[in-house]
Amino acid sequence: MTRTDRDRRPRSGGSSMNGSSRQYAGAGDSRARVPSQTTYHGPTGTRSRGGGVRGHRGRGGRGGYPLRSRSINFQGGRNRIFGIDRQLLILGALAVVLLVLVIVGVSSCVRGCSSEPAQSGNQIDSRVAAGVSEELTQQFATELNRNEKLAAIAASADRYADAGLLELALSVPEAIDFVAAYPDAEKTAQPYGDAVTQGEAPQLWCWDARWGNVDYAGRALAITGSGPTALSMAYMGLTGNNDKSPADLAQQASEAEAATGDSAMAASFLESSAEGLGLSYKSYTSNADNLSQALDAGTYVLLETKAGSITSTAHWILLVSENEDGSITVYDPTSPDVSAHPWAAATLAASTDTIHALSLPKSDEDANAENSENGTAEDTTTTTDE
């Protein structure tokens, strides 16, 4: 049966249902022929059969693009794109980690190189940091040793029968070594031993281990021996001999029963012992002018200072020389602090009542010359009043 269009007029060249839907004008027609089994022409248009997207109809019943006819994986595309991003992120993270490792390595090397001397330690004293100069290291070591020994003294304070030794360690750091060793030390004296130059009095300390342990005036010479020690310094400076240590002169003072008084040596011992020591003794009333004159004459002057003047206790000191500015150099055998700086003549004169001058005896020729200048021999021995 032949189908017709809307006006029911038969089409020329029409075909049956199994034939072509329309005839083409000729071979030159470029449009492809649509197979008859896939479409048909109805009153409302062309409806797809068998082809296109199955189960899907577009607007007006027209078929859409056959999506499932091609293998397009949108999810796979997204994974590929994001995969590239992840790779970049991973590479970037690895680069950052590598950079951090390099920085840490360099920093560790720098710290290691800079800390190498500290690890090796101070070659002089391990208690002091590396790199400190030898001079400062020695100073630190001295103080550290004193502190350690002072702690040991405190821990064994019950071994000291004389609390004056404990006070000595606390007040004079230079005496700590002596005090620390005192409980186990032999209470005997040793020779001085050092070389002595005539005209230069050595600086001696009461707590020297060569004589500080011996008993004098009922206590350790380290505490009571300022008189014998000052006299020993004067003797060595005047004679140039080192055969009379503080312990030797302390023994002489004890035998002469002169180890008495607040300073533990009577002033009379200087006069009585001078001749036996080969020295000349004179005394003067204490004032600044007499101090200067005595020292200008090339003598050594001993002063028995009062308590609370130069130091808190009464003791003996040695005046060595007068300086250009009129100040006086002092050797205090009980105090490095007092000995560390010069003193005004007036201050020293006010600390005592009498000046005790020791010198070498003058030869007969010198004595005669001096007597001629002064007119009488008595003038050289006259005590100058204030």
**Better pLDDT: 50 or 347:** 347
What fold, for 186-381? Cathepsin B; Chain A (3.90.70)
Q: How confident is the model at residue 93 (pLDDT cuts 50, 70, 90)?
A: confident
pLDDT tens, residue by residue, 213-241: 999 999 999 999 999 999 999 999 999 99
- Among 55-64, 202-211, 325-334, 365-374, the least confident range: 55-64
Please state, as a whole number, how many other Cβ atoms lie within 10 Å of the Cβ of residue 223: 23
First-to-last CA distance in the chain?
172
pLDDT of residue 91: 79
pLDDT of 47 reads 45
Kindly tell me if the per-residue pLDDT of 365 is higher than 70: no
Residues 327, 342 contacting (CB under 8 angstroms): yes
Average pLDDT over the chain, rounded to whole? 79
- Of 23-32, 58-67, 365-374, which has the strongest mean pLDDT? 365-374
Mean pLDDT comparison of 29-33, 56-60, 265-269, highest-scoring range: 265-269
**Strand 280-285's sheet: what is its strand order?**
280-285, 354-359, 300-305, 315-322, 328-331
* Residue 255: band (very low, low, confident or very high) from pLDDT cuts 50, 70, 90: very high
At residue 121, the pLDDT reads 86
Q: Specify the pLDDT at position 65.
A: 46
- Average pLDDT over every residue of 305-310: 95
Note the pLDDT tens digit of each residue in 156-209. Answer: 999 999 999 999 999 999 999 999 999 999 999 999 999 999 999 999 999 999
Q: Please tell me the predicted confidence (pLDDT) of residue 100.
A: 78
Among the residue ranges 71-80, 317-326, 357-366, the one predicted with the least confidence is 71-80
Q: Is the pLDDT of residue 314 over 50?
A: yes
Over residues 104-126, the mean pLDDT reads: 66
Under the banding of pLDDT at 50, 70 and 90, the label for residue 114 is: low
Query: In the predicted model, what is the mean pLDDT of residues 254-271?
Result: 97
Q: For residue 332, give Cα distances in angstroms to 191, 230, 247, 252, 319.
A: 21, 8, 17, 21, 9
Mean pLDDT, rounded, for 139-162: 94
| Residue ranges per structural domain of the chain | 122-185, 186-381
pLDDT over 50 (residue 6): no
Name the token pair of 142.
Answer: 């001295």
Q: Could you tell me which residue, 284 or 90, shows the higher pLDDT? A: 284
Q: What is the pTM of this model?
A: 0.65
pLDDT in tens, 36-59: 444 444 444 444 444 444 444 444
Residue 171 and residue 175: Cα distance in Å, rounded? 9
Among 65-69, 95-99, 121-125, 272-276, which is the least confidently predicted range?
A: 65-69
**Runs of H (alpha helix) within the chain:** 74-120, 134-155, 163-171, 176-181, 221-224, 226-239, 246-255, 268-274, 288-296, 336-339, 345-350, 364-374
